[in-house]
Amino acid sequence: MSTERPAKESHKMIAAIAKFCESVLFKNRIPFLLFFLITSLYLGYQAAQLKPDASFQKMVPASHPYIANYLKYENELRPLGNVVRIVVENPKGDIYSKEYLDTLKKITDEVFYISGVDRGNLKSLWTPNVMWYEVTEEGMVAGHIVPEGFDGSPEKLDEVRTNIVRSGRIGSLVANDHKSTIILAPLLETDPKTGQKLDYGQFSDNLEVKIRQKYESEHIKIHITGFAKIVGDLIHGSKAIAVFFAITFVLALVVLFVYSRCWRSTLATILCCSLAVIWQMGLVRLLGYGLNPYSILVPFLTFAIGVSHAVQNINTMAFERYSGKSNMEAARTTFSLLFIPGTIALLCDAVGFSTLLVIDIGVIRELAIGSSVGVLVIILTKMFLLPLMMSYVGVTDACLKHQAKRANGTHALAHVLSRVTEPSIAKLAVVAAVLIFGVASYLARDLKIGDLDPGSPELRVNSRYNQDSAFVVANYATSPDVFVTMVTTNKDECGSYPVASAVQRFQWQMENVEGVESSASLFTGMKRVISASNGGNLKWSAISRDKFISNAAHRTLPSELYNNDCSMVPVMIFLSDHKAETLTRVVSAVEKFATENDTKDMQFKMAAGNAGIEAATNMVIKKAERQMLLLVYGIVALLVLWEFRSWRVTVAIMVPLYITSVLCEAIMAQLGLGVKVATLPVIALGVGIGVDYGIYIYNRLEHFLNQGMPLKKAYFETLKTTGTAIILTGVMLALGVLTWVFSDIKFQADMGLLLTFMFLWNMIGAIVMIPALVAVLTPSLNQRQ
């Protein structure tokens, strides 16, 4: 923290680089402006081609062993994986009426022809793959649920009722109260004819237009659940983001003008930040990415970061013009003063974003790449284009008058805040920070990994999707939260007695795990068939060692209960919810059983089903959380150390950031928000962006300390010249994400709330804690005269 540091060779080199860039830039203003114009037109064209891009595999940790196991048997497990459930309800009666069953047939036919549906595995009371079985005096008989020649007569309706009971589908395809039925539609991720990926937004719109809007009436209610519907609703909700962006744009315009009183610098800043957004979107398109519900937030961040950093340019430009310099001189001085601290601050932002790459989930990695691209673009538009524009447009007379008024003010707030450098007050501030850290750490101890609410936590509790999900849970015995364990065997051995015995013991143990409602497998059906083949005697409801009996039962069951070469049997475990604690208990139980019972010929492998995929996601998040935090803090600290060459300064800047991170975790724990795909990026973003305040503050503080000023006076001068701009930086960042709170998409609202808190608290921490820590760590600075 020595005042001799500017003489060091490294700083001479940095100053030389800044001087060289300044000379090249301002001696070639026209060529650079033409470059920015041409590039903006080209990237604007590319940005206009950007399209929504969401897929199942991008939303899950594709390289996790659980997901690898699922993808290996994707075709066989499709009915248990990416499935849409369409519930057709009769709110004024039951399903046993001609009108209801005719409507159900029309809806089934409509769903059959919707692009993306795996038609061969579509299930409904009307599809031929849903049958009833019965053993009579004449042997085994079977048939379709809705009989041939159905005409809606009382006799046929009674037959349908009997067939449903005989099929054993009550609680799965038919509601417990017989007032609704489910159409089960597995999806194809890729169209086998065109090779095009499934467009989840269009698929969701098709469900709404062709099913819900077309058939819903006072006599028919439609409820739709499934991963594809969640993604579709997220895409639909994200369209409102344009409105929030417009609000943010207007707020930025107003706040900048009120702060600067200069329409020229305000418009120049807004133009540069808008170009940064266009460049970011255009480059993302060139990199081969699209927009998903997560990456659609990146333009907000790009704009907010650009505006918040540009505040420093406006402030410095106005001060230099007020000092008597021309537009050109003031622009060049602004560039020289802000080039190094601004670039370092933005690089820290990029580091914060890039650490998200350790999270092995496609949408988060695209968020990381898009955000990092946005920050790098801001370096060009804010650091180079804005000073060029300001060298031409300058500032207005109103701005200079406002600057004179500020310069000649009493600076009462700056006087108050500068007292935090006094030894006694600095120590009190540090003690207060320690207490805040302790309380936050205590409150954050309850922070959980994963979802903490039923339904889809990405959407609001009162959203249509979550209401539909609650209806399914309340009226059907088989929960929509399914955890699938795959039992692999040698070829043609999946139905053998040793496998059957192990699977039955596995099901019994899993059904005794808290949170497990029931289970089902090939052998659940085989026991029922064997019992039925013996007069329905319950004594025969067991797996037989006799291969002929087992094989006969095996052949009557649907092929979805085993794979083509009979080397894998899925075991479906139906859960009460997909909360983190439930999934942890289930995974532990499966792992324990597998460890004790796996052999070279039979292995129990996880996991498929929506709950299995959620469990894999939670594991990836848990592993990545600490790794990401260590990376973001470590790399940002190294950049700060490289810039200021002092471990004391590095500690002073980094400690407030860590306290804010712990406070954020405490707030998440108290609000019932788990660490998941939507919330984990917040901490990395908050640290990467939050360090900006510290870099700008200490850069100016160091400037005055190098003039020999004592710490208190140096900090007072820092607050006079850049304090208001620092506060405005925090306000602009917060405004940029605050509008997300009103989004219909809950995870966007959660991110907006948490980022708003982190941006504002980091700003407060930087203004109060950095000078206090500097005073405590280097008391000699207060002893200067």
Q: Provide the 3-class DSSP secondary structure of residue 489.
A: strand
Tokens 């820092």 label which residue? 718
**Count of residues making up the chain:** 785
Residue 373, token pair as written in the block: 């691209």
State how far the Cα of 484 lies from the Cα of 466, in Å rounded to an integer.
23
State how far the Cα of 556 lies from the Cα of 135, in Å rounded to an integer.
12
Q: What is the pLDDT of residue 2?
A: 43
Tokens 């081609």 label which residue? 49
Q: What is the pLDDT of residue 11?
A: 58
Classify burial at 512, counting beta carbons within 10 Å of its beta carbon; exposed 0-12, middle 13-18, buried 19 or more: exposed
Task: Write the pLDDT tens digit of every residue in 181-213.
Answer: 999 998 887 776 777 778 888 888 899 999 999
Cα–chain-centroid distance for residue 707?
47
State how far the Cα of 211 lies from the Cα of 636, in Å rounded to an integer.
51
Cα–chain-centroid distance for residue 272?
28
Note if the bond before 607 is cis, omega within 30 degrees: yes
CB atoms closer than 10 angstroms to residue 462: 8
Residue 295, token pair as written in the block: 């990456």
User: DSSP string covering 208-227, please?
Assistant: IIIIIIHH-SSS-EEEEEEH
SS (H, E, C) 351-364: HHHHHHHHCCCHHH
State how far the Cα of 702 lies from the Cα of 649, in Å rounded to an integer.
10
State how far the Cα of 677 lies from the Cα of 194, in Å rounded to an integer.
31
12-28 core/surface letters (b: 16 or more CB in 10 A; e: else):
eebeeebeebbeebbee
Q: What is the pLDDT of residue 45?
A: 93
Task: Write the pLDDT tens digit of every residue in 77-127.
Answer: 766 667 899 999 999 889 999 999 999 999 999 999 888 888 888 999 999
Q: Where are the beta strands (DSSP E) in 626-765?
A: none
CB 143 within 8 A of CB 163: yes
Non-local (6+) Cβ contacts of 357 within 8 A are 365, 368, 369
User: DSSP string covering 230-278, please?
Assistant: HHHHHHHHHTTHHHHHHHHHHHHHHHHHHHH--HHHHHHHHHHHHHHHH
Q: What is the pLDDT of residue 222?
A: 94
Q: Which alpha helices (H) appear in 92-199, and where do they start and end?
A: 98-112, 154-167
Q: What is the pLDDT of residue 9?
A: 53
DSSP secondary structure letter of residue 687 = H
State how far the Cα of 212 lies from the Cα of 222, in Å rounded to an integer.
6
State how far the Cα of 258 lies from the Cα of 375, in Å rounded to an integer.
26
Non-local (6+) Cβ contacts of 491 within 8 A are 565, 566, 567
State how far the Cα of 687 lies from the Cα of 657, in Å rounded to an integer.
6
How many helical (H) and strand (E) elements, i.e. helices and strands, does the chain have? 29, 9
Q: What is the pLDDT of residue 224?
A: 92
State how far the Cα of 718 lies from the Cα of 712, in Å rounded to an integer.
10
- Parts of the chain with a pLDDT under 50: 1-8
State how far the Cα of 620 lies from the Cα of 365, in Å rounded to an integer.
13
From residue 524, alpha-carbon distances to 507, 530, 571, 600 in Å are 10, 10, 10, 24
Q: What is the pLDDT of residue 13?
A: 67
State how far the Cα of 575 lies from the Cα of 514, in Å rounded to an integer.
9
CB 107 within 8 A of CB 86: yes
pTM: 0.78
Angle at 122 between CA 116 and CA 125, to 5 degrees: 145
CB 245 within 8 A of CB 299: yes
State how far the Cα of 22 lies from the Cα of 312, in Å rounded to an integer.
17
Q: In degrees rounded to 5, what are phi and psi of residue 630?
A: -60, -40
SS (H, E, C) 272-315: HHHHHHHHHHHHHHHCCCCECCCHHHHHHHHHHHHHHHHHHHHH
33-57 core/surface letters (b: 16 or more CB in 10 A; e: else):
eeebeeebeebeebbeebebbbbbe
- In the sheet with 516-520, reading across from the earlier edge strand, the strands are 516-520, 568-575, 482-489, 602-608
